[in-house]
Structure 1
């Protein structure tokens, strides 16, 4: 049952924030400066509303699974720490335990998320068929499954894991910060130390999402660039070369491309995610 509930949490979060995620990915992968409103306007004009939802079927299915891995790993590792410290289930967890459990959860889902994420990013960045320059042009990727097999055929199975190192460096610290901030804020704002769905959960979840993305955005930029490296001309030879070239040609600010969008998207998405998470935890407690 917990697995199914975690799937619901992941799918819900994806659906809420996907359009802004598409805009963010397109801004991050451009080697020239492009504004948020310019990107939105161009997408609307050339591709319509559908352009904002390209590749969404992949994260709705697979990111939901990865979300279940994150939350499941987090809960299980936290439980191990409780047992090692011989504390009761009702006792508050140590901050370091929450941080390390979040770190483990973020890293654990990389093996599942990486192939799905590269498919999502490539479909989000596939705009050529809608530009009108060539009426006979056909998209390279006809959908998520076709994209997955095309990458595996042309770039090998390891091609599905392009940017996996950056993804791990993004999600490990990001989820560690995410859970730590959430429970710290809930602890501050809940005098009775018992979190219930409501304003506290909504605010803490939104703030946790913003803090997590503030930590994770630099590696998010590198990840997206490595994942799209090969759609056209290859610009980067690897992880460190991508960082070096990006900073050299566009300045250090390139590592924070999309930070504002990530934070704007993160607040409502994670408000919803943690509200659902707490509801599910309460339901599981009443069931047991």
Structure 2
């Protein structure tokens, strides 16, 4: 495995994951919006109202921005863990290897979060926009929306919510890598017997 292949496989996994995640993200965003408080009576009601007002394909509003969010995080995460693992001293014990994975995964999760937060911010804005026929939404595509937010609100606005997000995804990336490695080793041992 090379670093380039790690980045490519991570990006591919992120793009694939987006197709599954986007309808759930859309429902979550609509339920979390202050302006929508009281508008919906739960997740099923959100789906019913979106489909009725905007059509069934509206459940995939924000697919492009969700894809960028996942592609950037996964590419950053897997690319960084590959590099960090190669720089860490080799550990002879299982606990030492778990520590290396925790460190590499946490650094990867932090880096991935730094890369994808702007696309995550605009994804929420895109998904929180009710589509009206004949009206171009203010936030529609990821990169123009990132430029618009930076222009109107400053670059800092692209990192709203960064601290709680990185506190979740930094250590979460470490835990993810430890669990992944442990499960792979478990299945390899089972296969060998």
Report Cα offsets for 1:195-226 as digits up to 9, x if no partner: 87521111111111110011101111110100
Report Cα offsets for 1:179-205 as digits up to 9, x if no partner: 111122122224269987521111111
Within-5 A mapping of 1:1-288: 93-126=1-34, 139-191=38-90, 198-230=98-130, 236=138, 238-239=140-141, 242-288=145-191
Query: In structure 2, do the counterparts of structure 1 residues 114 and 192 end up closer, same or farther at CA, with 3 Å as the change threshold?
Result: same
**Does the 8 Å contact 1:206/1:270 carry over to 2?**
yes
**5+ long unaligned stretches in structure 2:** none
Shift of 1:228: 0.8
- Matched residue SS, 1:198: helix
Query: In structure 2, do the counterparts of structure 1 residues 192 and 203 end up closer, same or farther at CA, with 3 Å as the change threshold?
Result: closer
**Does the 8 Å contact 2:102/2:177 carry over to 1?**
yes
**Does the 8 Å contact 2:122/2:139 carry over to 1?**
no
Shift of 1:166: 1.2
RMSD after superposition: 2.5
Shift of 1:249: 2.2
Shift of 1:285: 1.0
Query: In structure 2, do the counterparts of structure 1 residues 146 and 250 end up closer, same or farther at CA, with 3 Å as the change threshold?
Result: same
The count of corresponding residues between Structure 1 and Structure 2 is 185
- Matched residue SS, 1:142: coil
- With the length of structure 2 as denominator, give the TM-score of the two structures: 0.83
**Does the 8 Å contact 1:201/1:274 carry over to 2?**
yes
- Matched residue SS, 1:109: helix
Structure 1 stretches of at least 4 aligned residues deviating more than 6 Å after TM superposition? 193-196
**Does the 8 Å contact 1:187/1:193 carry over to 2?**
no
Shift of 1:253: 2.4
Query: In structure 2, do the counterparts of structure 1 residues 192 and 271 end up closer, same or farther at CA, with 3 Å as the change threshold?
Result: closer
CA distance in 2, matches of 1:140, 1:273: 36
Query: In structure 2, do the counterparts of structure 1 residues 145 and 287 end up closer, same or farther at CA, with 3 Å as the change threshold?
Result: farther
**Does the 8 Å contact 1:163/1:222 carry over to 2?**
no
Find the counterpart in structure 2 of residue 30 from structure 1.
none
**Does the 8 Å contact 1:204/1:271 carry over to 2?**
yes
**5+ long unaligned stretches in structure 1:** 1-92, 130-138
CA distance in 2, matches of 1:181, 1:158: 35
- With the length of structure 1 as denominator, give the TM-score of the two structures: 0.58
CA distance in 2, matches of 1:107, 1:180: 16
Query: In structure 2, do the counterparts of structure 1 residues 206 and 128 end up closer, same or farther at CA, with 3 Å as the change threshold?
Result: same
**Does the 8 Å contact 1:107/1:172 carry over to 2?**
yes
CA distance in 2, matches of 1:164, 1:193: 44
